[in-house]
């Protein structure tokens, strides 16, 4: 309509240009064009980190760069041979501002940054952080390799908890401090009272024997005076039973962690299944947030 009402094409184009310029000024800065310095700095950093002459990236450092040159992934190996990734999200003000760093760490990864820094500085800080967490990952890897971990099923490098099988429907949940992995972790026992109470007593009585010079797993064995079921000899099915109500092992990611206290029964249940079951029983009673009732298996 404006084109039809304009006297000539030139005046229409001038009006259109004016409208577009005003519109751009009032549009949120969603797609700010990055200055040439951004790309020159980034390409320089990538070349230093490991970009070969053919333009392909070496696998041991730079593993991914997106088409917009805004996301970079770097790979590093710690002194124990574990592979780790760091994802860098760069904004348009790089290198005046540091990129956002995404890592699979159990602690916060804080980057020390100055405008004259580069991706190489972040990479070196990443390597230093890996070595500071080496003892933590060594301890967790030994637990994952030599015991049956019930939860988490596929632990990430940031996971600080492990639920370790001790015996038939008996386990211990440990919370390890990543900064002090050789110290006594928080321990919470799961299972029937007649089985876990002696373990609690042993832990309390032997706490003074904890030796930070030996491994976390060996300390747990010594304090509890037990051997954890080994992966090489036993299968998980040897000590992990399905829920006695839903007849499944995993329910929304959780495993059966409530066990009947009757020694001759010891049937495990999911907490959600047992709570729903007991709520439906007229004989059950509730005190605050705890519900009491008969076992679905032995009626004790």
What was the pLDDT predicted at 151?
86
CATH for the 147-224 domain, from 3.40.50.720, 1.10.579.10, 3.10.110.20, 3.40.190.10 = 3.10.110.20
| β-bridge partners, 172 | 164, 189
Tens digit of each residue's pLDDT (9 = 90 or more) over 228-239: 988 877 676 666
Higher per-residue pLDDT: 48 or 223: 223
**Average predicted confidence (pLDDT) for the chain:** 87
CA pair distance 107, 109, nearest whole angstrom: 6
Indicate the range of 27-36, 58-67, 85-94, 155-164 predicted with least confidence.
27-36
Residue 263 has pLDDT above 60, yes or no: yes
Tens digit of each residue's pLDDT (9 = 90 or more) over 181-222: 999 999 999 888 888 899 999 999 999 999 999 999 999 999
What was the pLDDT predicted at 53?
41
Residue 51 has pLDDT above 60, yes or no: no
Indicate the range of 53-57, 118-122, 277-281 predicted with least confidence.
53-57
CA pair distance 245, 87, nearest whole angstrom: 44
Q: Which residues of the chain form CATH 3.10.110.20?
A: 147-224
State how far Cα 153 lies from the chain centre: 12
**Mean pLDDT on 169-173:** 88
**Mean pLDDT on 269-293:** 88
Residue 153 has pLDDT above 90, yes or no: no
CA pair distance 22, 180, nearest whole angstrom: 59
The CATH classification number of 36-132 equals: 3.10.110.10
What was the pLDDT predicted at 107?
96
First to last CA, the chain: 85
Superfamily of domain 241-299: Zinc/RING finger domain, C3HC4 (zinc finger) (3.30.40.10)
> What global pTM score does this model have?
0.72
Q: Which residues of the chain form CATH 3.10.110.10?
A: 36-132
CA pair distance 292, 82, nearest whole angstrom: 47
Which token pair is 32?
A: 């700010």
Whole-angstrom CA distances from 167 to 154, 172, 200, 227 are 21, 10, 15, 10
Q: Which residues of the chain form CATH 3.30.40.10?
A: 241-299
CA pair distance 208, 202, nearest whole angstrom: 11
Question: Sorting pLDDT into bands at 50, 70 and 90, what band is 54?
Answer: very low
Which token pair is 294?
A: 């008969």
């Amino acid at each position: 309509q404006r084109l039809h009402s304009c006297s000539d094409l030139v005046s229409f184009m001038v009006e259109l240009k004016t409208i577009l310029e005003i519109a751009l000024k009032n549009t949120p800065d969603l797609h700010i064009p990055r200055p040439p310095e951004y790309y020159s700095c980034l390409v320089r950093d990538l070349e230093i980190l490991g970009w070969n002459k053919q333009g392909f990236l070496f696998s041991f450092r730079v593993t991914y760069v997106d088409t917009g040159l805004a996301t970079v992934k770097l790979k590093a190996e710690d002194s124990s041979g574990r592979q780790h990734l760091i994802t860098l999200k760069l904004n348009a003000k790089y290198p005046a501002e540091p990129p956002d760093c995404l890592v699979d760490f159990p602690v916060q990864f804080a980057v020390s940054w100055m405008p004259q820094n580069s991706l190489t500085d972040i990479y070196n800080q990443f390597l230093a952080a890996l070595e500071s967490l080496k003892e933590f990952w060594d301890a967790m890897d030994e637990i994952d390799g030599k015991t049956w971990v019930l939860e988490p099923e596929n632990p990430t490098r940031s996971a600080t908890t492990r639920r370790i099988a001790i015996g038939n429907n008996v386990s211990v949940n440990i919370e390890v401090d990543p900064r002090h992995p050789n110290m006594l972790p928080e321990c919470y026992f799961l299972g029937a009272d007649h089985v876990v109470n002696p373990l609690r007593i042993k832990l309390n009585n032997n706490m003074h024997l904890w030796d930070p010079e030996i491994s976390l797993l060996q300390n747990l064995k010594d304090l509890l005076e037990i051997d954890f079921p080994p992966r090489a000899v036993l299968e998980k099915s040897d000590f992990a039973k399905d829920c006695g109500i839903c007849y499944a092992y995993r329910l929304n990611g959780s495993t059966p962690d409530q066990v009947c206290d009757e020694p001759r029964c010891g049937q495990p249940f999911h907490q959600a299944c047992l709570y729903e079951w007991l709520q439906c029983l007229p004989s059950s009673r509730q005190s605050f947030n705890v519900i009491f009732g008969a076992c679905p298996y032995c009626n004790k």
